Structure 1
Amino acid sequence: MSLNVSLVNLCSRPALTRSWLARRIHPPCRYTAIALRPGLRPFTTTPQEVENTNVKHSRFLAEASKNETWKKGAADKDPGDGAEVTSEDFDSITEGKGKLSPTASHLFKLILPLGHAERHGKEPAKTPPPTVFLLHPSQPLSHVSRLILASLAPSTPSISFRSITPRGYTIQWSDSTDVQDFIRDAARSREFTICITDTGEDESHMTIPVEVPSFEDRTRFLRRRLAIVEEDLNRMETLKRECDHEALRGARRMAVGGFGILVVYWGTVARLTFWDFGWDVMEPITYLSGLSMVILGYLCMQSRFLYRGREVSYSSLLHHSVSARRESLYESRGLDIDRWMDLVSEAKSIRREISKIAEDYDERRWKKSEAQREAREEGERKEPEDVQETQQENMDLVEGRKD
């Protein structure tokens, strides 16, 4: 009796206390979060129900490092971009049907109206909120069955997972099947069924159809992130392309200027030798000046080869002058080359992950768009040869900064 009074007093406190009580009754595990279903409440999409189905702590357990604390991890996460259930997920649920949705952390949210199974054969006064499970793709279906059984306690029905083939045949899946493999096959029909059979005397049977996310729904977080990354990349690549071309023009102007200085030197020596002073005066001057230029050039070449380990050639000198000028332009115009390299790597990894999901759905439009994008990028790479050769300098520049 005292326990009931304590629970009533706790539930009568503000929403923060009720949220604490929910975590105490249903402690979070590593990959699974079960929403608390208190009593018989109307099925509405109020902020309190969204808070009751918040699975932020389970997402923290799935993503955080071993040295990260819960408070710090929760503060660093974006509350609007996680695995928690939003009112949009509730509003899109059909009465008596479940829904499978992706999350930003590459997990799955399984939303099931288990209140209908508990009250089977009874006359419900109000519709309870659905139960939310956070699933990892590598978990077996037996784990999902145990989670559902825990929500239906003390009842112990048998649970099976069934899907329909493209020809209309119904097949039942083994409990050892991974969630990812099961969803890959169920995506063809866009739906699968969870069968709950009571093993009691009445042997009641209930099926819950579950909607499988489409390719667009499953990749919406990835495509949203890819759009943000590509927007930043386009802005940075425009500035980077301008800096690269300007640095290349500056290096070419410097090379042409050096050639012009040699021509002027040759003309001056010829004028002074054959018209003004004669060979007797100009011979030691030309000898010393020419030998001085050879010594200075040799020292420059050897210093580059010995101290920097670079190849001694005209192309390497040109690339060095281009990279030095380009680095100064990056700094003066506020271009962070480290962030640019990180964005390029992130965009490649996101496209690779979307391509893997597209193979599950046999999505040909994405493959076609990727082929067109690669062909377009291949055409854009056909720039001046000097610009192509200096692209590797960006990686060397980043590695040199990190060292």
Structure 2
Amino acid sequence: MFLSFLFKFQVVKAIEKAIPIPRGLSVAENHPAREELKAMEAQKVDIDRMATRQVRRELWGGLAALALQTAGFMRLTFWELSWDVMEPICFFVTSTYFMAGYAFFLRTKREPSFEGFFQSRFAVKQKRLMKARDFDVRRYSELRRACGLPSLHPQSPCASSQESHHHCLSHCHCD
């Protein structure tokens, strides 16, 4: 009898761990906390859009720099110098890019890809904008939990797209 009770108790505990049950009180629809959360979400949407815009400018600038470098290397290879001179230069430039990608991975623990770079730069820009606009991330997370919404990591650009595909709070589905 006792073993049966103990087994049932363990099963219930295992299910509680597997399925998170909100422990706090849910905030009523007309509660001021919901209004505060709506205002903070609007502010966060604005911050995310601004961060996205800034990162996209950086990425377009990087593309322009690579295009200019390629054009310069073409000019040097075919008109000014020769491939014999340019081959070691191109090798060292490519090696430098590889080392930069490796350093990016070591520093950010993210894959050195365009998406990884975008997410890393987005997190930096988002954090900077949140600080500049006095956005209280802790209060935002508290309000989300109080309203029964999952707490989002402030530097996760796609966190809102995991929550809902209809309501965009980040760069993933905007523009």
Q: TM-score range by the shorter chain?
A: 0.5 to 0.7
The question of 1:338 aligning with 2:138 is answered yes
Provide the C-alpha distance between the structure 1 equivalents of 2:88 and 2:145, rounded to a whole number of angstroms: 60
The structure in which a higher percent of residues are strand is 1
Provide the C-alpha distance between the structure 2 equivalents of 1:312 and 1:291, rounded to a whole number of angstroms: 14
Pair 1:256–1:298, CA change in 2 (3 A): same
SS of equivalent to 1:348? coil
Larger Rg: 1
- 1:39-188 pair list within 5 angstroms: none
Partner in structure 2 of residue 256 of structure 1: 60
CA contact (8 A) 1:248 1:387 kept: no
Provide the C-alpha distance between the structure 1 equivalents of 2:114 and 2:90, rounded to a whole number of angstroms: 25
Amino acid at match of 2:86: M
Provide the C-alpha distance between the structure 1 equivalents of 2:74 and 2:138, rounded to a whole number of angstroms: 52
Amino acid at match of 2:172: D
Partner in structure 1 of residue 167 of structure 2: 381
Amino acid at match of 1:297: G
- What per-residue deviation string (whole Å, max 9, x for no partner) do you get for residues 346-382 of structure 1? 1228xxxxxxxxxxxxxxxxxxxxxxxxxxx957425
1:323 aligned to 113, 123, 133, which one?
Answer: 123
- TM-score w.r.t. the length of structure 1 is 0.30
Partner in structure 1 of residue 41 of structure 2: 237
Amino acid at match of 2:74: A
* CA deviation after TM superposition for structure 1 residue 316, in Å: 2.8
* CA deviation after TM superposition for structure 1 residue 384, in Å: 7.0
The structure in which a higher percent of residues are helix is 2
* CA deviation after TM superposition for structure 1 residue 331, in Å: 0.4
SS of equivalent to 1:288? helix
* CA deviation after TM superposition for structure 1 residue 256, in Å: 2.0
CA contact (8 A) 2:102 2:112 kept: no
- What per-residue deviation string (whole Å, max 9, x for no partner) do you get for residues 108-143 of structure 1? xxxxxxxxxxxxxxxxxxxxxxxxxxxxxxxxxxxx
* CA deviation after TM superposition for structure 1 residue 229, in Å: 0.6
Pair 1:314–1:283, CA change in 2 (3 A): closer
* CA deviation after TM superposition for structure 1 residue 343, in Å: 0.8
* CA deviation after TM superposition for structure 1 residue 273, in Å: 1.5
Pair 1:325–1:286, CA change in 2 (3 A): same
RCO comparison, higher one (Cα < 8 Å, 6+): 2
- What per-residue deviation string (whole Å, max 9, x for no partner) do you get for residues 216-256 of structure 1? xxxxxx648x5311221122122111100111122222222
Amino acid at match of 1:232: E
Identical counterparts, % of pairs: 26
- What per-residue deviation string (whole Å, max 9, x for no partner) do you get for residues 278-311 of structure 1? 3333232222222222222222224433xxxx45
Pair 1:319–1:338, CA change in 2 (3 A): same
Pair 1:387–1:320, CA change in 2 (3 A): farther
Structure 1 segments unaligned to the other structure (5+ residues): 1-105, 107-221, 350-376, 389-403
Amino acid at match of 2:68: V
1:298 aligned to 74, 78, 102, which one?
Answer: 102
* CA deviation after TM superposition for structure 1 residue 263, in Å: 1.1
Amino acid at match of 2:140: W
CA contact (8 A) 2:37 2:143 kept: yes
- TM-score w.r.t. the length of structure 2 is 0.65
SS of equivalent to 2:75? helix
Provide the C-alpha distance between the structure 1 equivalents of 2:34 and 2:164, rounded to a whole number of angstroms: 17
Provide the C-alpha distance between the structure 2 equivalents of 1:281 and 1:346, rounded to a whole number of angstroms: 66
CA contact (8 A) 2:104 2:112 kept: no
Aligned pairs, number? 136
Q: CA RMSD in A?
A: 2.9
